[in-house]
Amino acid sequence: MDEVIEAVKPLVQRDNGKKTYPYYIENPVTENRVERFLEAFAAVLHFTDYKPLLDSYCTSNAKCNRCAVTCPVYLATGDPKDIPCYRTNLLLETYKRYFTFGGWANSRFSNGTDLTEEIIDEMLDLFYRCTACRRCTTECPMGVDHGLMTRLGRYILSLIGIVPKALQVATREQLEGETHNTSKIPKVALMDTLEFLSDEIEESFGVRMEAPVDKYDREYVFFCAVSDYLLEPDTLMGNAVVLYAAGDWDKWTIGTQDFDGINYGLFYSDWHLENIIKQLVHEVTRLRGKKILIGECGHASRSAHDFVPVFAGKESYPVFNFMEYTLDCIEKGKIKLNPNIITERVTYHDPCNISRSGWIVEQPRKIIRSFIKDFVEMEPHGVNNYCCGGGGGLVSVDEIYNFRMNIGGKQKADQIRETGAEIVISPCANCKKQLKELVEFYKLPCKVMGLHDLILKAIEIPGAKSAEERKEEAAMFEM
């Protein structure tokens, strides 16, 4: 109970005049924050295209509160401050007051809408209570994109130095560090990991698959959430065996100068978003690749799919999520999955970035139905799914664990429990981490896996050990 209270209370607190923030901030700015915020806001409005959007939202925002009943955070707390419209309004009121004639005229009669230190505290708190899942956007009659507004709010805050340290440190390493990835994995460690994965596959399948590294003129250049190399070997091995079984082993490569699909810029900064995309595109160009293949990661897929065409210009490459590739292989009969291997009840979690904000809803379901007999849907699912509670980069912010468990992920935990599933498929590195923590926190009787973790178990490769044999060996090993 204490944890719930801890998670619900306002996150920015003053203790004897000393301010504590909800998340770690590197060198938090304490002076002239209002002026600096407005200066940053003005620069953003001057150089970007957000102005017409803000003009339009300011005028037509109906404040009807339909968004409230769609927001998993509000549903968990019931606090009006967690209503998406309330949060968006913090930014809109500031815009109206300082950047429109009407707001200026209004300010001659009242000081009520002036930006204050307290409002900035509220913003830095509320914009990082939102998981940017955009569920509210689908139910807003006026089409107000609260997810985009959260992102814009975070962007302006980041320009005055207010950003969770976890995100800042990761993007700094990705753009300026030696390793160019968020988990700081050096090339040597990558090669070791790939060697280890090849050994594992050989042990399991009896076939050696050496991962192609820095190969030129390949069709696909592969990027996954780099944390998968550390935490999700089964997902990566699943990806590899699909490529091998489909006969496309000589059509893909991993680049060593940039192998990280993660792009936290999608969550808080235009500048980071663009530069990380450019880095990714540069690697594909260096390798003379033709297509970008993104592993099981929601935001990596969305950021590459949506923003490579925007930022890369003529250098643009088509972007595919690995599940699209796998489905294509199944439909063309290039790979075969044994339908008798996965006997547990399975459910599927839609990562918001590729379902509601993306284009992948039916593809994974077709794959699942092709080899899993006991598949149950969560309610609601697809584009109406609930966020896992770790979206918008929150999952990387360890210090808000209580919030993510008790509030952000509460709806999702209830959903999973209701399905009675033993396996929750989550084809996203961030969702996977959050869901694994949720399962542990709520003691749910299930495990969280990637889709390709299951494909790894069920795939049949000619000339290799059969799926049945591998299952028996795995069972013996577990005993």
Partner 1 sequence: MEQWLDFAKGPLFAFTFLFMILGLFRHVVLQIYYLGIRKGRRLRNAPWRKIILDTLTWAVPVKHFIPGTAFFSSASFLSHIGLILVPVFLVDHVVLWEGFLGLNLPSIGKGVADVLTLFTIACLIVLFCCRVFVGRQRAMSGPMDYLILIMVFLPFASGFLASHPKFNPFAWDTMMLTHFLSAEALFVLIPFTKLSHIVLFFFDRVSGLHWQLRPGAGDKVADALFGKEARV
The residue type of 325 is Y
Tokens of 438: 């949720």
Stretch that binds partner 1, among 85-93, 405-413, 440-448, 455-463 (CB under 8 A): 85-93
- CB closer to partner 1, 140 vs 254: 140
Stretch that binds partner 1, among 80-88, 225-233, 241-249, 419-427 (CB under 8 A): 80-88
Helices and strands in the chain: count of H runs, count of E runs: 23, 12
Residue 217 vs residues 210, 223, 277, 284, 293: alpha-carbon distances, Å: 18, 16, 20, 10, 14
CA distance 101 to 115: 16
Place of tokens 């594992």: 200
Q: Is the peptide bond before 380 cis (omega within 30 degrees of 0)?
A: yes
* Minimal distance, residue 160 CB to partner 1, in Å: 9
CB contact set of 55 (below 8 Å; sequence gap of 6+) = 100
Q: Which stretch binds partner 1 (CB under 8 A): 14-22, 47-55, 114-122, 393-401?
A: 47-55
CB-nearer residue toward partner 1: 52 or 463 = 52
Nearest distance from residue 111's CB to partner 1, in Å? 16
Residue 32 in contact with partner 1, rule: CB under 8 A: no
Q: Total residues at the site for partner 1 (CB under 8 A)? A: 60
Of 286, 284, 258, residue with least CA distance to 187: 258
Task: Give the one residue of 8, 29, 34, 44 binding partner 1; rule: CB under 8 A.
Answer: 44
Closest CA to 362 of 319, 318, 331: 331
- Amino acid at site 46: H
DSSP-derived 3-state class of residue 224: strand
Cα 225–Cα 231–Cα 234 angle in degrees, nearest 5: 90
Please identify which residue in the block is written with the tokens 């780099």.
226
List binders of partner 1 among 133-192 (CB under 8 A): 137, 139, 141-145, 148, 159, 168, 171-172, 175-176
CB of 102 to partner 1, least distance (A): 7
Which one of residues 23, 37, 50, 128 is an interface residue with partner 1 (CB under 8 A)? 50
Bridge partners of 428, per DSSP, are: none
> Closer to partner 1 at the Cβ: 105 or 188?
105
Among 33, 38, 70, 396, binds partner 1 (CB under 8 A): 70
Q: What is the CA radius of gyration of the chain?
A: 23
- In angstroms, rounded to a whole number, what is the distance separating the alpha carbons of residues 459 and 326? 11
For residues 352 and 227, what is the distance between their CA atoms, to the nearest angstrom? 19
77 binds partner 1 (CB under 8 A): no
Residue in the block written with tokens 């490569």: 253
DSSP H or E run through 103: helix 101-107
* Residue of 96, 251, 272, 432 that binds partner 1 (CB under 8 A): 272
Interface with partner 1 includes 53 (CB under 8 A)? yes
In the block, tokens 């790939």 appear at: 194
Assess 414 for contact with partner 1 (CB under 8 A).
Answer: no
For partner 1, give the closer residue by CB, 58 or 425. 58
Whether the Cβ atoms of residue 337 and residue 330 lie closer than 8 Å to each other: yes
348 DSSP β-pair partners: 425
Which residues are paired to 321 by β-bridges? 294
Which of 19, 63, 366, 369 is in the footprint of partner 1 by CB under 8 A?
63
C-alpha 85/C-alpha 81 separation (Å) is 9
Instruction: Using CB under 8 A, pick the residue from 25, 29, 40, 207 that binds partner 1.
Output: 40
65 binds partner 1 (CB under 8 A): yes
Site string for partner 1, 338-377 (x = CB under 8 A): ----------------------------------------
- Least distance (Å) between residue 8 CB and partner 1: 16
Q: How many residues does the chain have?
A: 479
Is-contact 144 137, C-beta < 8 A?
A: yes
Residue 50: CB minimum distance to partner 1, A = 7
CB of 62 to partner 1, least distance (A): 5
List binders of partner 1 among 97-116 (CB under 8 A). 102
Q: Least distance from C-beta 24 to partner 1, angstroms?
A: 16
DSSP state of 260: B
Residue closer to partner 1 (CB basis): 315 or 344: 315
The nearer residue to partner 1, 312 or 439, going by C-beta atoms, is 312
Given the complex with partner 1, which of 145 and 283 has the nearer CB atom?
Answer: 145
Query: Alpha-carbon distance 391 to 261, whole Å?
Result: 16
Q: Which of residues 305-334 bind partner 1 (CB under 8 A)?
A: 306-307, 309-311, 313
Residues lying near partner 1 in the complex (CB under 8 A) are found at 39-40, 43-44, 46-53, 55-57, 59-66, 68-70, 74, 80, 83, 85-86, 89, 102, 137, 139, 141-145, 148, 159, 168, 171-172, 175-176, 269-275, 306-307, 309-311, 313
